[in-house]
Amino acid sequence: MPAIETVGLVKRFGSLAAVDGLSFEVEAGEIFGLLGPNGSGKTTTIRMLSCLIAPTEGQASVGGHDIRRDPLRVRETVGVLTENPSLYERLTAYENMEFFARAYGAADEAARAKRIREVLEFFELWGRRDERVGTYSKGMKQKLAIARAIVHNPEVLFLDEPTAGLDPKASKDIRDMMERLSRQEKHTILLCTHNLEDAERLCRHVMIINKGRSIVAGTTDELRKKIAGPPKLEVCLIKVTEQIMRTVEASENVKAVEVNGANTKLVIDVDDPDGSTPCVVKRIVDAGGLVRSVQLVEPSLEEAYLKLVKEAPV
Amino acid sequence: MRLDRALLVFGKDWREVRRNWEVILPIALVPLIFSVILPAVFFILPSSVGGSTSTGWIEALIRNMPGSVQAEMAGMSSLQVTTYVMALYFLAPFFLIIPVMASSVIASDSFAGEKERKTIEGLLATPLTDGELLLGKILVSFVPSMIVTLLSFTAYCASVDFFGYNLFGRLPLPNLSWLMLMLGLAPVVSLAAIGLTVIISARVRGFREAQQISVLLILPILGLLFGQAAGVLIFGPTMILILTGLFAVVDIVVFRVGLRLFQREEILSQTR
């Protein structure tokens, strides 16, 4: 049984459909990426799945519990990192963790204390557990907010923009943590983000949504290939001359050629990249090109994403 | 609904309130100062002007008092009667205003403050039930307001007894009416006001809006004050008992209405 399953989920605010017929499944232990620009419906989807708001139409279950019929069980099953860290700044990190652990039903004091220590150590915050959260940096607050979301060891985690506003080092730390959470602690994670680096590195399956609707869903590899096309041939030269350009453009299977501003790199859109590469490179050399390197570059998920969001109907 | 889980919300908020001196100081100091200074004025002023401060409305108040109260004052001088009525009857409704005023800051902040500080979503996402959240928030306003009220009452008793012993030859306070007022009526009035303020706090965007609206809750209590000043309503044991019962019913109704109006989605939609 999938850890998360939605069928035709709809949320309307007056005449505006913030989420419009979303259907997807997330397998247990998987990190699933819900990608989309601001206002695409990601946060509304998380709010519906964590039973903070009710769907207008459609069905969904989380951890086997129906979000309409059993909201209390759903809330017990999930951990939520909301858009804001939702931490009490006058309380210490330990007091925040203690409150949320108990609110989520961790009744046994010794087990609770052990778990809080385990999680704070995991996030490298144990040494500063008795400091008020108001004194923490943004990165530390974000780590603590994720720690708070997993303190009750939930089956399913909803993470809404976990690396938003963080510096590159803190973002990397959070990504590493998410990987560890999925691998070591076997949490199912629904990751909402517009940070494609996060999605590309962490998620096997993603769904791109815009204006509340699903545009495309699949594995990250499938999306890259399907949307942004096959890999491109990238040839670095000492110098790109007019003659080299003309020769490459006239080559068989070459659809388009771009040259970078410094006149040292050709990016060639070519049919059957594996088969055509030797022939194209030979023609460049024959035209007097001094080749420094040749590589096939996979299109990034970012290219696929930008293309899709741009093409999505308004 | 589980009490221990409501107490969890109470404990969390109580820790936060305790660490916020900007909230604690005005809540604690104003009623305490009021409780010491007012009786001093009532006792010192009439004596210093030769006991001739009995005005028309005090005389009307005394005339309208029930026989039992009149009997209490039999044989007293004009100065004694005036001071006795002011200290033991006229000020009684003020002690219903203290818990309402003291609780209004914390109760207004209950949900509206969480919205402003953007902690509300995390709280609403927990499996705490609506009733547990509501009760926890009510308790965190109720407990400090009652502590302040009872401390103010203690200070008031000490002040009245200190100044009144020479005048009356005995310690006037506490008496049965005041004990019933402080331990019965004040808590139920306070609970009703807090319940309404917490409901308002859940339905507005910010603390200021909640506090501005909740100030209106003092009006009915001022009505009691004016009722007593006019001699229409005297805070004797029977009246206090009736009002306590009445407000206890109001408390239950307010809590039920609060539960019915408690919609997580609506609370969240009011977040800035």
Please state the rounded mean pLDDT for residues B116-143: 95
CA A306 – CA A157 distance, rounded (Å): 27
CA A2 – CA A30 distance, rounded (Å): 10
Residue B162's CB: how many other CB atoms inside 10 A?
14
Domain ranges (residues) in chain A: 4-226, 230-298
Q: Which residues of A touch B265 (CB under 8 A)?
A: 52-54
Nearest to A90 among B20, B124, B126 (CB): B20
pLDDT of residue B32: 81
At A245-304, the pLDDT tens digits run: 999 998 888 988 998 878 889 999 888 888 889 999 999 999 999 999 999 887 777 777
Please state the rounded mean pLDDT for residues B229-238: 78
Q: Measure A131 CA to nearest chain B CA, in Å.
A: 13
Alpha carbon separation from A172 to A198, B149, B222, B244 (Å, rounded): 9, 53, 60, 61
- Do the chains contact at A88 and B12, CB–CB below 8 Å? yes
CA B233 – CA B66 distance, rounded (Å): 10
CA A81 – CA A192 distance, rounded (Å): 10
pLDDT of residue B47: 62
C-alpha closest to that of A162 among A208, A195, A131:
A195
C-alpha closest to that of A230 among A296, A310, A311:
A296
DSSP A92: B
Q: State in Å, rounded, how far the first CA of chain A is from the last one.
A: 35
DSSP A127: G
At A73-122, the pLDDT tens digits run: 999 999 999 888 899 999 999 999 999 999 999 989 999 999 999 999 98
- Angle (CA) B97-B231-B93 rounded to 5° is 10
Residue length of chain B: 272
pLDDT of residue A26: 95
Q: Measure B2 CA to nearest chain A CA, in Å.
A: 11
pLDDT of residue A132: 97
Task: Say yes or no to pLDDT of B50 above 60.
Answer: no
Residue A54 near chain B (CB below 8 Å): yes
Nearest to B127 among A76, A83, A89 (CB): A76
At B91-118, the pLDDT tens digits run: 888 889 899 988 999 999 999 999 999 9
Residue B169: pLDDT band (50, 70, 90) is confident
C-alpha closest to that of A83 among A138, A196, A162, A188:
A162
- Decide which of B51 and A4 is more confident: A4
Q: Please report the number of interchain residue pairs, chain A to chain B, with beta-carbon separation below 8 angstroms.
A: 72
Q: Measure B23 CA to nearest chain A CA, in Å.
A: 13
Alpha carbon separation from A296 to A235, A274, B167 (Å, rounded): 9, 8, 103
pLDDT of residue B46: 66
DSSP A254: E
C-alpha closest to that of A74 among A104, A45, A31:
A104
Q: Measure A23 CA to nearest chain B CA, in Å.
A: 22
pTM for the model stands at 0.83
CATH, domain range A230-298: 3.30.70.100
Task: Say yes or no to pLDDT of B175 above 80.
Answer: yes
Confirm whether A4-226 and A230-298 share one CATH topology.
Answer: no
- Do the chains contact at A90 and B19, CB–CB below 8 Å? yes
Contact yes or no for A140/A104 (Cβ under 8 A): no
**Strand-strand pairing, A188-193 and A156-160:** parallel
Specify which residues A13 forms β-bridges with: A16
Region of A91 (left: φ > 0; alpha: ψ -120 to 50; beta: rest) is beta
- Do the chains contact at B119 and A87, CB–CB below 8 Å? yes
Residue A152 near chain B (CB below 8 Å): no
State the complex-level ipTM: 0.85
Nearest to B118 among A47, A80, A84 (CB): A84
Ramachandran angles phi, psi of A235, nearest 5°: -115, 120
CATH, domain range A4-226: 3.40.50.300
- Angle (CA) A248-A254-A258 rounded to 5° is 65
